[in-house]
Amino acid sequence: MNIVITGSIAYDYLMRFPGDFLDHVKPDRLQKLSLSFLVDEMVKQRGGCAPNIAYSLALLGERPLLMGTAGQDFGDYRAWLEEQGVDTSAVKVVPEVFTASFFVTTDQDLNQIASFYTGAMAFARTLSFHDLAAPVDLAIVSPNDPEAMDKYPRECRALGIPYIYDPSQQIVRISAESLRDGVVGADILIVNDYEYELLKDRIGMTDDDIRRAVKRAVIVTLGAEGAVIWAGEGRNDKIAIPAVTPAVIMDPTGVGDAFRSGLIKGLALGLPWDACGRLGSLAATYVLETMGPQTHHYSVAEFVARYRSVFGDDAATAALSASA
């Protein structure tokens, strides 16, 4: 399957705060918030929604095409992604700026405060699905430059490309009109539970409205509670996806991106929704157990063995083993 992954390409600066953010927030002072946290650890990692998704997909045996913009400092990152099995031929380097950067501080309860420097990501609007040489079987529109996120769904519909709409943290930046346009006609909508409520408020659509507007599935991730997939006729079939218990909890950055990787792998294998969701759940746990969104590693055989130990044998284990 020819899979195109669009979204931010970035470096992640991950910091740990050895306490609880909420202990430093005064509810009666929220109208004038001024906080500073002394962190005891910082690491720089390869990141960005699109490479995060692409990396875990490559671990699962796919060769996704990464479509995005990066800066003058992307050379080593590009070489590393190619070594991992990610096709970076559709990445445009903008030499006069730096690659986007994500700064996030995580407290001991895994709450996060983040900032994002746009950098080269602002040029993603200059890319187009019309310029891709090979036909596309599936695309994902993940968080990116707002103008690019407005453009890509329209291009996918015009070209007949099924797309997953993943607005995530850009829900607050994208116009309500653009958000609604991305939802209506998407094959799949995927957001977390907080983002889902925010999305409904922004676009003025109910649960039923959204399920009727999306062609195949509405997926809401629930953190430690797993996920819910609404699929079937009218997207009225509710499928509960359990979370996979991690061996250790290190950092939540990129966990949602890995869930999307597992889900997409299931779609590429033609698996039923419950199996697609379980693949996403396990892929997400691998990231939660490491520091950074692209430091985990496994072979397909190792992934299958762990999947089997949690969920038993099903269509996913057979299909993954056959594809390895």
What positions carry a catalytic annotation? 257
* Short-list 187, 181, 189, 191, CA closest to 218: 189
DSSP state of 242: P
User: Strand, coil or helix: what is 15?
Assistant: strand
* Short-list 203, 155, 183, CA closest to 4: 155
User: Phi/psi at 127 (nearest 5 deg)?
Assistant: -90, 155
- C-beta of residue 283 within 8 angstroms of C-beta of residue 261: yes
Quote the CA–CA distance of 294 and 319 in Å, as a whole number: 25
Rounded to 5 degrees, what angle do the CA atoms 21, 195, 179 make? 140
- C-beta of residue 12 within 8 angstroms of C-beta of residue 102: yes
